[in-house]
């Protein structure tokens, strides 16, 4: 497949204004862009949901061959049968933090685990049709032998329960459609491909 032949220079922002300015932000843009036929699109009106870049880390213990997932209430799943989701340790990047530092900080805050080693998994836009959120995904080696419990920062309203699952059970849950968080599914499928290598190199 040919590489994309358009760049940011092929987009013209005609108007941009801030519609909402809270913890999250929403901008309204009027823009046009070049089309594959070679001409320009008509003016398009779009809303853009602005979020800081985010980090997720799959906590993996190669000795136990187990992973740690966290369960917490998620407002985005409010209108489903169960808005408490099982997912990765994750958090937003502050302006002076590296993605790796965020992964280590969130592992302690959300799961009480210290990461010994870490490998990058993927970097990607989470939902570019309407949001600028960019996600950095890692897999971190840590000891889960005594892990578990309830964590989170009270000042941020966090109430997080840690679950320790054998890796095979986590993979089975993905296959059965029991996990509905994209970052978690991506990380577990990556681990399924790289588990043997990690168990040998992290042992």
Q: Do 98 and 26 have their domain in common? A: no
Q: Are residues 37 and 94 in the same domain?
A: no
Model pTM score = 0.91
User: Is 200 annotated as catalytic?
Assistant: no
Domain around 23: 8-50
Let me know whether 138 and 178 are in one domain: yes
Per-residue pLDDT of the chain (203 residues; tens, 9 = 90+): 666 689 999 999 999 999 999 989 999 999 999 999 999 999 999 999 999 999 999 999 999 999 999 999 998 999 988 999 999 999 999 878 999 999 999 999 999 999 999 999 999 999 999 999 999 999 999 999 999 999 988 777 788 999 999 999 999 999 999 999 999 999 999 999 999 999 999 97
Number of domains in the chain: 2
**Helix H segments across the chain?**
99-111, 167-175, 182-201
Set 81, 155, 156, 200: catalytic member: 156
Q: Are residues 126 and 85 in the same domain?
A: yes
The CATH number covering residue 125 comes to: 3.90.79.10
The Cβ-side half-sphere exposure at 87, using a 13 Å CA radius, reads: 19
* Residues 108 and 192 reside in one and the same domain: yes
């Amino acid at each position: 497949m040919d590489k994309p032949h358009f760049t940011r220079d092929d987009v013209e922002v005609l108007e941009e204004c801030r519609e909402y300015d809270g913890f999250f932000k929403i901008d309204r843009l009027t823009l046009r862009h070049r089309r594959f036929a070679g001409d320009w699109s008509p003016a398009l009106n779009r809303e853009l949901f602005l979020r800081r870049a985010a980090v997720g880390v799959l906590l993996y213990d190669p000795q136990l061959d187990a992973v740690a997932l966290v369960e917490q209430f998620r407002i985005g799943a409010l209108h489903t049968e169960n808005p408490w989701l099982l997912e990765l340790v994750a958090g937003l990047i502050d302006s002076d933090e590296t993605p790796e530092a965020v992964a280590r900080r969130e592992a302690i805050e959300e799961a009480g685990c210290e990461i010994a080693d870490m490998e990058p998994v993927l970097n990607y836009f989470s939902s570019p049709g309407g949001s600028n959120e960019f996600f950095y995904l890692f897999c971190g080696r840590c000891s889960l032998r005594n892990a578990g419990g309830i964590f989170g920062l009270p000042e941020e309203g966090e109430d997080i329960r840690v679950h320790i699952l054998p890796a095979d059970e986590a993979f089975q849950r993905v296959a059965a459609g029991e996990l509905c968080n994209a970052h978690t599914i991506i990380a577990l499928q990556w681990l399924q491909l790289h588990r043997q290598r990690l168990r040998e190199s992290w042992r």
